[in-house]
């Protein structure tokens, strides 16, 4: 039976926190592949400017191509409208077949909001969740929150990942300020960001959400 990790995110831009989390999940859950799925239009970032989807896709591709277990999917960037996980998992079900087991990989913060996700009952029936948290995170609070989700709690696995205090928000801020982002994300990604100027304040790659 094929075990597939689904690493969804805005990836604006992708960084080592995402890569370490995906690798840790693959390792612990014996996943055959982890598919990175950059969001087309993130449903929960409607009022936020986000870099062009295909540019985020390209950067994520550069970051993942050297790992034989990592794959890319353009299912969300190609789909019009907001990117809901349930639509993505259903597309994967059609692609990988009934026997495949899906593990949606997210950060612990996202798990705390999971009950607001679209068609959460159907989503939980289709896939399990791997919720990554970092050392120092309030694990008891997270465990209690997951336990309160009752029927779903057996479908959510909490996993500690190495402490990488990296966020895309911090990287974007550094780039705007012309500061170094070395060692926060892979070199080929940095090269492309510099080449295209995507994260320069005047960049045409950043699109305000309506």
Ligand X SMILES: Nc1ncnc2c1ncn2[C@@H]1O[C@H](COP(=O)(O)OP(=O)(O)OP(=O)(O)O)[C@@H](O)[C@H]1O
Ligand Y SMILES: O=C(O)c1ccc[n+]([C@@H]2O[C@H](COP(=O)([O-])O)[C@@H](O)[C@H]2O)c1
Interacting residues toward ligand Y by CB under 6 A: 8-10, 39, 42-45, 83-86, 106, 110, 117-118
Other beta carbons less than 10 A from residue 131's beta carbon? 22
Site string for ligand X, 161-190 (x = CB under 6 A): x--x-xxxx---------------------
179 binds, among ligand Y, ligand X, none (CB under 5 to 8 A by kind): none
Other beta carbons less than 10 A from residue 82's beta carbon? 16
186 binds, among ligand X, ligand Y, none (CB under 5 to 8 A by kind): none
Residue from the set 27, 95, 109, 144 that interacts with ligand X by CB under 6 A: 109
Shortest CB 157 distance to ligand X, Å: 14
Residue from the set 73, 106, 124, 192 that interacts with ligand X by CB under 6 A: 106
Q: Is 18 in the site for ligand X (CB under 6 A)?
A: yes
Q: Is 159 in the site for ligand X (CB under 6 A)?
A: no
Q: Is 40 in the site for ligand X (CB under 6 A)?
A: no
Token pair for residue 33?
């592949």
Environment class of residue 22 by beta-carbon count within 10 Å: exposed (0-12), middle (13-18) or buried (19+)?
buried
Residue from the set 60, 107, 127, 146 that interacts with ligand X by CB under 6 A: 107
Considering the complex, state which of residue 46 and residue 191 has its C-beta at the smaller distance from ligand Y.
Answer: 46
Closest CA to 105 of 2, 1, 3, 5: 5
- Cα 14 to Cα 128, 141, 152, 195, distances in angstroms: 23, 28, 29, 16
Residue from the set 5, 17, 40, 186 that interacts with ligand X by CB under 6 A: 17
Q: Enumerate binding residues for ligand X (CB under 6 A).
A: 9-12, 17-18, 21, 106-107, 109-110, 132, 161, 164, 166-169
């Amino acid at each position: 039976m094929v075990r597939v990790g689904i690493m969804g995110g805005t990836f604006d831009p992708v960084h080592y926190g995402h890569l370490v989390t995906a690798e840790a999940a693959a390792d612990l859950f014996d996943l055959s592949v982890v598919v990175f799925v950059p969001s087309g239009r993130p449903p929960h970032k409607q009022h936020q400017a986000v870099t062009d989807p295909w540019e985020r896709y390209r950067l994520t591709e550069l970051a993942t191509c050297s790992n034989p277990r990592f794959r890319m999917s353009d299912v969300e960037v190609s789909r019009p409208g907001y990117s809901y996980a349930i639509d993505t998992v259903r597309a994967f079900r059609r692609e990988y077949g009934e026997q495949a087991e899906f593990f949606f990989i997210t950060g612990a913060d996202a798990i705390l909001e999971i009950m607001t996700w679209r068609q959460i009952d159907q989503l939980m029936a289709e896939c399990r969740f791997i919720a990554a948290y970092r050392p120092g995170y309030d694990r008891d609070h997270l465990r209690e929150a997951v336990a309160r989700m009752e029927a779903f709690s057996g479908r959510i696995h909490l996993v500690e990942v190495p402490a990488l205090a990296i966020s895309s928000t911090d990287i974007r801020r550094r780039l705007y300020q012309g500061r170094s982002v070395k060692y926060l994300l892979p070199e080929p990604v940095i090269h492309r960001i510099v080449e295209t100027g995507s994260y320069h304040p005047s960049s045409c790659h950043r699109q305000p959400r309506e």
